[in-house]
Amino acid sequence: MPIVTIKVGAEGVTREQKAKLCEGVTAVVHEVLAKDPERVYVLVDEIPVDNWSAGSELLSARRARGFNGICDCGEHEEFLAEREARLKAAAQDAE
């Protein structure tokens, strides 16, 4: 009974993305360890960005400076556009 924990910043990860992560991790554990997918447990732990740091700087501060940690390899334009639209909608809802 493998248990896999994925920790992410608690902003901007949708339910659909979490489901896709869980599906992918389950498939890899099944393939590599030959475990029954029904017995693979995946936990997605959302950490508030004020409770996480990199290089001694809180993620919230990095985000405020524009750092988003998103890959810039050029293969994720659709993902980036969807993310930007979600962030804009959330900002408008907050106003």
What's the predicted TM-score (pTM) here?
0.71
C-alpha to C-alpha distance for 5 and 77, rounded to whole angstroms? 27
Q: Is the per-residue pLDDT at 95 higher than 90?
A: no
Q: Is the per-residue pLDDT at 31 higher than 90?
A: yes
Task: Identify the burial level of 10 via C-beta atoms within 10 angstroms of its C-beta, where 0-12 means exposed, 13-18 middle and 19 or more buried.
Answer: middle
Per-residue pLDDT, averaged over 56-85, amounts to 81
pLDDT of residue 20: 95
Residues in the chain: 95
Domain residue limits, the chain: 3-68
Q: Is the per-residue pLDDT at 68 higher than 80?
A: no
pLDDT of residue 78: 83
Q: Under CATH, what is the fold of the domain 3-68?
A: Macrophage Migration Inhibitory Factor (3.30.429)
